[in-house]
Amino acid sequence: MAHNFASTLVDLLKSRGETVSFCESLTAGLAAATLADVPGASVVLKGGLVTYATELKTSLAGVSPVLIDAHSVISPQCAEAMAAGAARRCNSDWAVSLTGVAGPSKQDGHEVGEVWIGIAHQGAADDSQTGTFVAFRAFESEQQVILAALKEDQRRTIRELAVQRSFQLLIEYIEST
């Protein structure tokens, strides 16, 4: 299923002559690697930032420490800032960020399965001052993700589902613009 969304995303971006980058915390590079598995992805995939550690969200993606202190790294605000930072840093038309909790336990009061996905779109890849930044809660509830994860390895399943959902959300968002 992830491969289908990945292929669709590559085809869509190719048809528009646009590029994508990633800023990944929860998924630690899995989204970029999954997209790179699609033949022809090199035309659209610019790269990504793996910001698993909080300090890298600040130093690599440019997320404000004040924002992190106010909202935490598991928040729509952080997801938006991570995506915006990846778009600027990688000079891509689109950027996707993934942040959340894969488990095995809560993190800073956030439940296992809480995942936020940010999407950034720059008006022009060389103009880092303009753009649209949005964040989506990846899943209707953490419970649905936890139930799916119980059948498999929890951490891996949550991360894989988050990647699939990020591709799906980006496709939907691009098609709506």
Q: Where are the domains of the chain?
A: 2-9+18-176
User: Edge-to-edge, what's the strand order for the sheet holding 115-121?
Assistant: 45-50, 20-24, 94-100, 115-121, 132-137
What is residue 127's predicted lDDT score, i.e. its pLDDT?
45
Please check whether residue 161 is in contact with residue 148, taking contact to mean a CB–CB distance below 8 angstroms.
yes
* Residue 125 pLDDT level (bands cut at 50, 70, 90): very low
Architecture of domain 2-9+18-176: Alpha-Beta Complex (3.90)
What is residue 111's predicted lDDT score, i.e. its pLDDT?
87
pLDDT digits (tens, 9 = 90+) for 4-55: 899 999 999 999 999 999 999 999 999 999 999 999 999 999 999 999 999 9
Distances in whole angstroms, Cα of residue 63 to Cα of each of 70, 71, 101: 12, 12, 19
Distance CA 17, CA 145 (A): 34
Predicted structure pTM score: 0.90
SS3 content of the chain, % helix, strand, coil (to 5): 50, 20, 35
pLDDT digits (tens, 9 = 90+) for 73-82: 999 999 999 9
What is residue 128's predicted lDDT score, i.e. its pLDDT?
45
Q: Which of 82, 102, 72 is nearest to 22 (CA)?
A: 82
What is residue 149's predicted lDDT score, i.e. its pLDDT?
61
Which has the higher per-residue pLDDT, 141 or 2? 141
The yes-or-no verdict on residue 174 having pLDDT over 90 is: yes
> Percentage of residues in the chain with pLDDT exceeding 90?
69
Distance CA 4, CA 37 (A): 11
Distance CA 98, CA 115 (A): 7
Residues 6+ positions from 24 with CB-CB distance below 8 Å? 30, 31, 32, 48, 49, 50, 51, 52, 97, 98
